[in-house]
Structure 1
Amino acid sequence: MTSPSIPRDKTFDYSAEMMEKRRAFLEAQRSVSLPHTGQTSFDPASLAGNIENAFGATQVPIGLAGPLTINGEHATGDFYVPLATTEGTLVASYSRGMGVLRAAGGVTTTVIERYMQRAPVFHFESARRARDFGQWLADNLDGVKKAANSTSSVGKLSHIEQYGVSKMRYLRMNFTTGDAAGQNMSGKAAQAACQWIIKNCGFTTRYTLSGAIDTDKKHSQINTLHSRGARVVAEVTLPADLVREKLRVETKDMYRARQVSTLGGMLAGTSNNGLHAANALAALFIATGQDAANVAESQAGLTYVELNDDGSLYWSITLPSLIVATYGGGTGLATQRECLEVLDCYGAGKALKFVEICAATVLAGELSLASAVVGGDWVESHDSLGRNRP
C-alpha cells in the first residue's frame, strides 16, 4: 500500500491555506487534533528559505532573565535576556547568576576572533605531489582569495590551514562572514576557490568540497584549538564576601569543586570542563532564531579559575566555537527577531555584541549551578521550581 504524499503547491506553498491543508492531511492520516500547532501569528510567506512543508509552529515558552551587566567591547550595560526553555529552575538560576555578576561590577567579555570554515581536500597521485601543491597554494593565496571573495560582498577568505595526510592535502579555509553565521556563504566561496585552483595550479588533481575537518554540527578538538565561529572569553573576579552573601558558599569551596570537576571532565573525555553551557545556548538559540544544531559545537568550553590571596575568586569561561548570527537564517522570523530586538542585536553590525551576551549568559549559569551544587541546594531548587515537583 502506497502512503499518500504530503500536500504541496509549487506556486503558493508558503500560505495559510497550504498550512491548513497539511494540518488537515495529518489529522486525517493519524487521527490527531492540531488546534495549538495551527495557532500562529507570523505571515507564512516569511518562512520561505527556512522550512519546507510547514503546517504550524511549536510554541516554546520564553522566560526573561536579568538584568545582566556586561563590560564588553561590543555589549556594554544592562541586558534582559530571553531564554526559551521548558526546564523549570533554568531562568531563575540564570537570573541568580546574573545578579551576582551585577553585584561584582559586571562580567568582562572579549572576542578573540571569529571565522567560519569550509574544508576541501585535494587528491594527488603521491604524497610528494600533495606536499608540492601545498607550497604552490601558499605562493598563490592572493589568487585563491580573489576567486573566493568574488562570490559575496560580505564573506572574505582570511587564511587557509593545510594538513598533509597520505597523498591528500586537507585544507581548512577560514572566512569572515559579517553578521551571518556563514556556513552556506563559506561553502559557495570555497567551491569558487577550488574551481580556480583546479584551473590554475598545473597539478593533476581533483577535490572533495568538504574533507570533514570543518566539523560542521559536531564538536572537534580542532575547533577548540583553532576556533569555529567566535572565540570569546567571559570573566569576572568575585569578592569572598559577595559569594558568601549572594551564593551562600565559600570561594575556597567553589575553587576546590572546580578542580574536582575538571579532573572528572578529563576522566570522562568531555568537550567542556564547565557545568552546562548548552543550557544557556540552547535557550538563547531557540529564542533568537539561531541554528539549534550548532549547539553541538558552540557548547564546548574551557573553564579556568584562580583563588586569589585575598580570598576572591577569578572565574572565566572560554567558548572557542560559538556560532551565532544577527542577520539571515531564522533571525528575521517574527518572534525570533523580536527577541533579538529585546537585546538590541538584530541586523547588521550586531553579531559581536550578541556573541558577548551569549558568553556572559553562560558564565552567569555556571556560577549559579556551581554554587547550588557546592551549597547542597541543587536538588531542592528543582523540587520547588522544576521537574521534581510532585
Structure 2
Amino acid sequence: MTSTSDPSPRIPVPRDRDNDYSDAAAAARRDFLRQRTGQALPHVGHYSLPPASLPGNIELFTGVAQVPIGVAGPLRINGEHAQGDFYVPMATTEGTLVASYNRGMRLIAECGGVRTTVVEQHMQRSPVFFFNDARESRDFGHWVEDNLDGVRAAAQSTTRFGKLMDVMQFAVGNLRYLRFNYHTGDAAGQNMAGKATLAACEWIRDTHPAHPRFMLSGNIDTDKKHSQLNTLLTRGRRVIAEARFTDEALRRIMNVSAKDLFHARQVSMTGAFMAGSASNGAHAANGLTALFIATGQDVANVSESHASLVYTQLLDNGDYYWSVTLPSLIIATYGGGTGLATQRECLELLGCYGAGKADKFAEICAAAVLAGETSLSSAVIAGDWVSSHDKMGRNRP
C-alpha cells in the first residue's frame, strides 16, 4: 500500500471583503501573483477605467487585457436602422484583418452601399418538465397552451423590457421540452430570459394539478453553442446584408471577375456541405469577434453568432449579387459590458450606444461581415491570401 502525504493547502487569490473593486485590491492581487509565480504584471496593471465601474462585469479584478483596435471604413450602409457611412472599430491581434475588411468596405462603397434588413428577434430559454409517461407529457402540453396567458404574466412580472412572444413544445419520451421565445429590446437577454422563464416554470409547477418537476434548461436553447435549430428558428437577431457588385469594380479592386467568384462559390458550398459547417461563408467569426471585443459584447456569443448563410447570384448583366444572412446574431447596446469606458466609446463611435440602437448595431455587424466575405473570398481566388499574410501578418523574423 502506497502512502501519500497530505496535499499542500490551497492558497486562494486574495480579495477585500469591504471594497474589492479598488485600485488597492487589484494591486494586492498583482503583488500576490508576483510572489507566487515570480511574474510581475506591469502592463496588466496599466488601465484607465475606474475599478468601481466593474461590479457585475468581473470578479477578482486584477487588470486589463489590452487588445489593439483598428478602424475600417467608411462602411456605407443603406439600412432600415443604420444609414450612412460608418467607421468600424475592430479589436484584434490578427494582422491583415482590418486591412481586408477595409478593402471590402471600399468595394461596397464604390458599388452603392450594402442594404441591411433585420428580419426578427428572439431570445430563448428552454426548460424541460418531467412526467411518468408520454400521455401525461402530451396532456401537459395542451394545458400549457390553454394557460398561456398565466404563463406570460408570470414571466413578464420579472422584467420591464422582456416580452414573451410564444412557447414552442417538443415531446421526447416522458419529457416535455418548452422553448420560451422573448423579445428583449436592446439587451442580449440571456439572463433576462432565464429569470423570466424561472418565474414562469414556478408558476406552472404551482398551478398545474400534477405540480410537475422541471429543470430550467433542457439545452435545446443551445446557449453559447451553435445549433441547426437556432439557424432555422433564430436566436438573437436574424439580419441580412446584401449588395450588388459590378464586374468592373470586382476586377479593379479585388482582381477577380464575377464569373470566377460564382464558380468558386459552387466549390466552397460543396466543401461546407461535406464538412457539415455552421457557415457556408468564408469567415464571419473574424469580423464579429473583432467588433464584439471592441464594443463590449459577450464574446462567447460568437459561437452562435458566426453561423451564416451566404447566397449569391451571377446576374444576367454580368454583375454579382452577394448576401449574408446571420440567423443567430446575439448583440446588445445596453447593459453587460457595453457601458464600460472603452467599449462605450466604440459603440458611440458607431452611434450605437444605449436604448433603441440594437437593430442599428445588428445591421452594422451584418454589413461588416459582408465586407469581410468579399475581401477574403476574392483574395483566395486572386492568390493574395497567403502573400498578404506574409506581408502584413508577421511580427517575427
- TM band (smaller chain): over 0.9
- Is 1:168 the counterpart of 2:168? The answer is no
User: What is residue 315 of structure 2 aligned with on the other side?
Assistant: 308
Once residues 336 and 48 of structure 2 are traced to their aligned partners in structure 1, the CA distance between those partners, rounded to angstroms, is: 19
The aligned residue for residue 340 of structure 1 is 347
Give the one of 354, 371, 380 matched to 1:373: 380
Comparing 2-11 with 94-103, greater Cα deviation is found at 2-11
Q: Does 1:199 align with 2:206?
A: yes
Partner residue in 1 for 2:325: 318
Q: Secondary structure, in 3 states, of the residue corresponding to 1:7?
A: coil
The counterpart of 1:253, out of the listed 226, 235, 260, is 260
What is the distance in 2 between the residues matched to 1:292 and 1:220?
17
Question: What's the offset of the Cα at 1:370?
Answer: 0.5
* Superposition map of 1:6-155 within 5 A: 6-155=13-162
Q: Deviations over 1:323-378 (max 9, x none)?
A: 00000000001101100010011010011100000000000000000000011111
Give the structure 2 partner of residue 186 of structure 1: 193
Deviating 4+ runs (over 6 angstroms): none
Q: Which amino acid aligns with 1:90?
A: L
User: How many angstroms does 1:389 deviate by?
Assistant: 6.4
Cα displacement (A) at 1:387: 2.8
Query: Counterpart of 1:217?
Result: 224
Q: Match for 1:58: what amino acid?
A: A
Aligned-pair distance for 1:3?
Answer: 3.5
How far apart are residue 135 of structure 1 and its match? 1.1
Q: Distance in 2 between matches of 1:353 and 1:181?
A: 14
Q: CA offsets, 1:288-340, max 9 Å, x none? A: 00001000000001101110111111110110000000000000011011000
TM-fit CA distance, 1:5: 1.9
1:106 and 1:49 mapped to 2: Cα distance?
39
- The CA distance in 2 between the partners of 1:388 and 1:333, in whole Å, is 30
Is 1:271 the counterpart of 2:247 in the alignment?
A: no
Q: What is residue 3 of structure 2 aligned with on the other side?
A: none
Whether the aligned pair in 2 keeps the contact of 1:382 and 1:388 (CA below 8 Å) is no
Partner of 1:384: 391
Whole-Å separation in 2 of the counterparts to 1:362 and 1:10: 44
What is the CA–CA distance in structure 1 between the aligned matches of 2:249 and 2:343, rounded to whole Å?
Answer: 36
Aligned-partner SS, 1:78? strand
Letter in 1 for 2:308: G
AA in 2 matched with 1:37:
V
State the match for 1:349 in structure 2. Answer: 356
Cross-structure match for 1:299: 306
Aligned length: 390
8 Å CA contact retained: 1:69, 1:102: yes
Can you list the C-alpha shifts for 1:168-211, whole angstroms capped at 9, x where unaligned? 11011001111110111100000010111112222342111000
Partners of 2:238 and 2:249 lie apart in 1 by 29
Q: Is the 8 A contact 2:204 2:211 kept in 1?
A: no
Unpaired segments of 5 or more residues in structure 2? 1-7
Moved more, 380-389 or 13-22: 380-389
8 Å CA contact 1:133, 1:203 repeated in 2: no
Q: Given the two structures, how large is their TM-score scaled by the length of structure 2?
A: 0.97
The reply on whether 1:242 has 2:249 as its aligned counterpart is yes
Q: Within 2, Cα distance between the matches of 1:160 and 1:103?
A: 45
Contact 2:46 2:64 in 1 (8 A): yes
Q: C-alpha displacement at 1:248, in angstroms?
A: 1.1
- Please report how far the alpha carbon of residue 251 of structure 1 lies from its aligned counterpart in structure 2 after TM superposition: 0.4
**Whole-Å separation in 2 of the counterparts to 1:5 and 1:243:** 58
The question of whether the paired residues in 2 share the 8 Å contact of 1:382 and 1:389 is answered with no
- C-alpha deviations, 1:115-140, integer Å up to 9, x for none? 11000011111101111111111111
Identity %: 62
Using the TM superposition, give the Cα deviation of residue 388 of structure 1 relative to its aligned residue in structure 2, in angstroms: 7.8
Counterpart-to-counterpart distance in 2, 1:3 and 1:129: 49
**Distance (whole Å) between structure 1 residues aligned to residue 10 and residue 42 of structure 2:** 24
Q: Of 331, 336, 350, which aligns to 1:329?
A: 336
Distance 2:112 2:209 in 1: 59
Which residue matches 1:289? 296
| 1:143 CA displacement | 1.1
Tell me, yes or no, if the aligned pair for 2:240 and 2:366 is still in contact at 8 Å. yes
Is 1:159 matched with 2:163?
no
